[in-house]
Amino acid sequence: MKTKSQIIGELKTEYPTIRLGDDDAGYTDLSSAEYDATISLWADNTLAQLADEAAADAAATQKAALLARLGITADEAKLLIG
């Protein structure tokens, strides 16, 4: 899994500046502190998403292993439960 520092590096490469505003009022770049805080928040969100995906993958692997040990399919397991 990627570290927060790696994700921050990728985000800073992909988004060297972050601007707020619109076409009518114009745009302003975030200050250095606001930029760093935003990138850090995005990195935290990315880490949480990666952790959720890893947990879902682990659960699916455990489920498949259990079904294989029991010698039944997922549909058969649903019939037993439902």
pLDDT tens profile 45-77 = 999 999 999 999 999 999 999 999 999 999 999
Give residue 12's domain range: 4-81
* DSSP per residue, 5-63: HHHHHHHHHH-S--EEEETTTEEEEPPHHHHHHHHHHHHHHHHHHHHHHHHHHHHHHHH
Is residue 82 over pLDDT 80? no
Return the pLDDT at 9.
97
Split into its structural domains, the chain has a count of 1
